[in-house]
Amino acid sequence: MKTILFLTIVLLSGALAGLIHGTVNFAIVEPYLDQAIGIENQNLFDSGEEEDTPQFWAEYDGYRTWQKSGQILAGVILGISIGALFGIVFALSKNSLPGTHYVKKSLTLAGIMWFTMYLIPFLKYPANPPTVGDGETVVLRAVLYLSFIAISGIGAVAFYKLSKRFRNNQKIISIFGYAVFISVVFFIMPDNPDEITAPMNLVNEFRLMSVLGVSSFWLSVGIILGLLWNRIESH
Amino acid sequence: MFFMSESRQISVSKTSVSKLAILALAIVFAAGLFVVGFDQGHIFSIVYGEQAFNELYIHELTHDMRHAAGFPCH
């Protein structure tokens, strides 16, 4: 495949999947963000940090509109970014992935990356709505979250490489090895230091919507890249 | 039979994309992730200086996606 075609289909599939992710979030996550920010505002009024005045709401409406309008644009940017990583891994691993159709191969890889680089890290460091999260700890939380994603992703690649040394009926050892490895990392890594100060039902429902949104990205990018790759390779 | 087996192995292990393309995608990945997940005024500070860290344009633009996609925020 020509380099320019490869780059085009990888970036296009990431952008389209990101557009879907942003749109899904706009529909199902935004109501929870609004609720959480409502609690945040009430806390500001109660503590005296802000006053419940028309000026406050005028300023609030201005930046809230900016934030909401960014949901879909940020989805496209994030989609291109994660789609680029997905494209790299797919290009390097497509011959080893099961199946003969590229959509099956691409969906399989999307499932593996969703599980190892999103779901497992999410279980350790789940998404939180606004009003949960201390500004003082944001760097620590970012380092912990990124580290866990990197450890899980690199661990999955390492155990995959190891599996190549085993015969077919022994490859399960690698999956078991990854499970033990990531379980140990899961319990060793420090917990999120921030206390959850929002109602738990709001936090849990927000997290469920967050998972559905991110999952829509991985499903979409798997299907779209596979279809585009198949179309180009078959011509 | 030996040659058939060998040629199959070669085609299976061959990677059809250039290293330059992989490098370009790696840069896109890192830059996009930073913009959406972690920028706190850093990018605009190149042009606007310290003011960018107070105005947080990119942070506010990506704020809702940060929360929704699980990035740490606030």
pLDDT tens, A110-123? 999 999 999 999 99
At B34-45, the pLDDT tens digits run: 999 998 889 988
Residue among A154, A149, A157, A159 at smallest CA distance from A180: A159
Q: What is the DSSP letter of A115?
A: I
Among A81, A96, A100, the strongest candidate for a mutation testing the B interface, having the largest count of B CBs within 10 A, is A81
pLDDT above 70 for B12 = no
Measure the CA–CA gap between B57 and A66, rounded to whole angstroms.
9
Confidence of residue B13 (pLDDT cuts 50, 70, 90): very low
Among B22, B28, B53, the strongest candidate for a mutation testing the A interface, having the largest count of A CBs within 10 A, is B28
Residue among B73, B71, B37 at smallest CA distance from A126: B71
Confidence of residue B5 (pLDDT cuts 50, 70, 90): very low
pLDDT at residue A166, rounded to an integer: 84
* Interchain CB distance below 8 Å, A142 and B69: no
pLDDT at residue B17, rounded to an integer: 80
Residue among B14, B9, B39, B61 at smallest CA distance from A74: B61
Which pLDDT tens digits describe chain A residue by residue (235 residues)?
789 999 999 999 999 999 999 999 999 999 999 999 999 899 999 999 999 999 999 989 988 988 899 999 999 999 999 999 999 999 999 999 998 899 999 999 999 999 999 999 999 999 999 988 888 898 999 999 999 999 999 999 999 999 888 887 788 899 999 999 999 999 999 999 998 988 999 999 999 999 999 999 999 999 999 999 999 988 7
When the pLDDT of each residue in chain B is averaged and rounded to a whole number, the result is: 81
Q: What is the ipTM for the molecules in this complex?
A: 0.91
pLDDT at residue B3, rounded to an integer: 42
Contacts of A100 (CB under 8 A, 6+ apart): none
Confidence of residue B7 (pLDDT cuts 50, 70, 90): very low
What angle separates helix B57-69 from helix A200-233, to the nearest 10 degrees?
90
Residue spans of the domains in chain B: they are 16-69
Whether A206 and A130 have beta carbons less than 8 Å apart is answered as: no
pLDDT at residue B4, rounded to an integer: 45
* Interchain CB distance below 8 Å, A127 and B67: yes
pLDDT at residue B8, rounded to an integer: 45
Measure the CA–CA gap between A197 and A100, rounded to whole angstroms.
50
Among candidates A33, A92, A214 on the partner chain, residue whose Cβ is nearest the Cβ of B64: A33
Measured between alpha carbons, how far is residue A85 from residues A32, A172, A181, A212 in Å?
A: 29, 26, 23, 21
Q: Provide the token pair at A76.
A: 């496209």
pLDDT at residue B9, rounded to an integer: 43
Among candidates A66, A122, A142 on the partner chain, residue whose Cβ is nearest the Cβ of B38: A142
* Interchain CB distance below 8 Å, A91 and B17: yes
* Interchain CB distance below 8 Å, A67 and B63: yes
Whether A117 and A146 have beta carbons less than 8 Å apart is answered as: no
Looking at chain A from residue 66 to 125, which residues have their Cβ under 8 Å from any Cβ of chain B? 66-71, 73-75, 77-78, 80-82, 84-85, 87-88, 91-92, 95, 118, 121-122, 125
Measure the CA–CA gap between B56 and A169, rounded to whole angstroms.
54
Looking at chain A from residue 146 to 205, which residues have their Cβ under 8 Å from any Cβ of chain B? none
